[in-house]
Amino acid sequence: MNAEAFRQELIAKKALYQKQLMEISLLITDIRAKGARHVEKLIAHELHHLNLKDAQFLVEVTEKERLSLDGNDQIIFYISTNKGHAPKPLSDVASGGEVSRVMLAIKSVLAEVDLIDTMIFDEIDSGISGKTAQLVAEKLYSVGTKRQIIAITHLPQIASMADEHYKIVKLTSKEQQMISVNHLSEKNKVEEVARLLSGKEITETVRLNAKELLKFAYNYKNNG
């Protein structure tokens, strides 16, 4: 076979492979588009449970300029958290507290199929309090029944729902900065939840509140 014939053969093979690649990518696009509708409903349901009652969640699947290892699609999440507002890209419209809840909702939906064994939530409590904090705590526990959850939090509702508690303290001297991590006993657990409830001054009333919060979390986890 001369060089020109070999070149033409390679060109034909390239065209064939490109055609097959595009057919496969279009099949993946169709699967993703159908899956997106299902995921939208599941995530919207989770958001409503996390006290975003009017939230709309959309998954847009659009064609990319160039085919890549991920396929021919670009995925953008759209959200609206208020009635009468059209959904916009999540990165443009959501507040800190909303982003935390959206992330938790997504993780909750994907927990059944996600291969990640451990999930770390840092600042999941950003911008939330009260009833919403309790709902987030309950959802974290729910996800934690399927995966290991590590949550760094300053909210007593979320801290109380954990099975194990660790206190993290930053120690600074003139020479260096260190981080201390200590596992908490039952007594110290009460003290730390009480500290989260009141700040500096911990009274017996605050300790009683902390015990009640921990008892509520225990009963929720064991009785549903």
Task: Say yes or no: 119 and 223 in one domain.
Answer: yes
Domain membership of residue 101 (yes or no) is no
Q: What is the pLDDT of residue 122?
A: 81
- Rounded to 5°, the CA angle 159-111-45 comes to 85
What does the DSSP 8-state code read for residue 82? S
pLDDT tens per residue across span 124-170: 787 788 888 899 999 999 888 888 999 988 899 999 999 999 998 88
Average pLDDT, the chain: 88
Instruction: Kindly report, residue by residue over 44-94, the tens digit of the pLDDT.
Output: 999 998 888 888 999 999 888 888 888 889 999 998 888 888 888 887 876
- Tell whether 100 is covered by a domain: no
For residue 185, give the 3-state DSSP assignment: coil
Q: CA-to-CA distance for 63 and 129, rounded, in angstroms? A: 40
Is pLDDT of 117 > 90? no
Does a structural domain hold residue 167?
Answer: yes
For 50, residues 6+ apart whose C-beta sits below 8 A from its C-beta are 101, 104, 105, 132, 135, 136, 139
Produce one character per residue of 161-198: b if its CB has 16 or more CB atoms within 10 Å, e if not. Answer: bbeebeeeeeeeeeeeeeeeeeebeeeebbbbbbbbbb
Residue appearing with tokens 């349901």: 45
Q: For residue 146, what pLDDT is reported? A: 85
Give the whole-angstrom CA distance, residue 199 versus residue 209.
13
How far apart are alpha carbons 161 and 125 in whole angstroms?
13
The answer to whether residue 206 sits within a structural domain is yes
Range of the domain at 68: 1-94
Cα–Cα distance for residue pair 141/51, rounded to 1 Å:
16
User: What's the average model confidence in pLDDT over 10-24?
Assistant: 92
Res. 41: pLDDT tops 90? yes
Position 5 scores a pLDDT of: 87
Q: How many domains does the chain have?
A: 2
Shared domain for 144 and 216, answered yes or no, is: yes
Q: Does residue 194 carry a pLDDT above 90? A: yes
Same domain, 27 and 83: yes
Question: What is the pairing mode between strands 148-152 and 166-172?
Answer: unpaired
Query: In this predicted structure, what is the pLDDT of residue 176?
Result: 83
- The burial of 213, by beta-carbon neighbours within 10 Å (0-12 exposed, 13-18 middle, 19 or more buried), is given as buried
Sequence-ordered list of residues with C-beta below 8 angstroms from that of 134, at least 6 positions apart, any chain: 157
Provide DSSP, 107-168: HHHHTTT---SEEEEESTTTT--HHHHHHHHHHHHHHHTTSEEEEE---HHHHHT-SS-EEE
Instruction: Provide the CATH number for the domain around residue 205.
Output: 3.40.50.300
Q: Is residue 108 part of a domain?
A: no
The reply to whether 99 falls in a domain is: no
Shared-domain flag, residues 221 and 146: yes
| Whether 159 and 209 share a structural domain | yes
The pLDDT value recorded for residue 224 is 65
pLDDT digits (tens, 9 = 90+) for 213-223: 999 999 999 88
Please check whether residues 79 and 186 belong to one and the same domain.
no
CA distance 155 to 48: 21
pLDDT at 96: 65
Q: Are residue 134 and residue 65 in the same domain, yes or no?
A: no
